[in-house]
Amino acid sequence: MCETPPTKLEVAMFTLCEVFHKYATLEGRKDTLSKAEAKLLLEKEMPRLFKAAQGNEEGEKILEALDIDKSGEMEFKEFMLAVSCLTCICQSACCSKQ
């Protein structure tokens, strides 16, 4: 067993798993996000992004785009791809300010 405290990156990885699981288990399949679960996750965990998408059709388009295999449910791999893409956009925005 590792005795050192988890690193920031390890905490971030565990947090991603926990957040996905928290919302995926709310209804239906426990290992995927329905559209309602994905919307709630966006609203609660990515409020800035959610706010930016409100008031137009972008929110629905984003959710549809994230459902890569068009199953109607977002799997963990699709969630991670979405978070990775959004993180890259954030990183680009941060770097362009320097």
Q: Which residues bind Ca ion (CB under 5 A)?
A: 24, 28-29
Smallest distance, Å, CB 38 to Ca ion?
9
Smallest distance, Å, CB 73 to Ca ion?
7
Smallest distance, Å, CB 67 to Ca ion?
13
∠ CA 49-57-41, nearest 5°, is 40
> Smaller CB distance to Ca ion: residue 44 or 51?
44
State the Cα–Cα distance between residues 30 and 19, nearest whole angstrom: 13
> Smaller CB distance to Ca ion: residue 40 or 49?
40
> Smaller CB distance to Ca ion: residue 24 or 53?
24
Q: Which residues 6+ apart lie within 8 Å of 72 measured at CB?
A: 34, 35
Q: For the stretch 4-14, what's the b/e string if a residue is b when 16 or more beta carbons lie within 10 angstroms of its beta carbon?
A: eeeeeeeeeee
Closest residue to Ca ion using C-beta atoms: 28
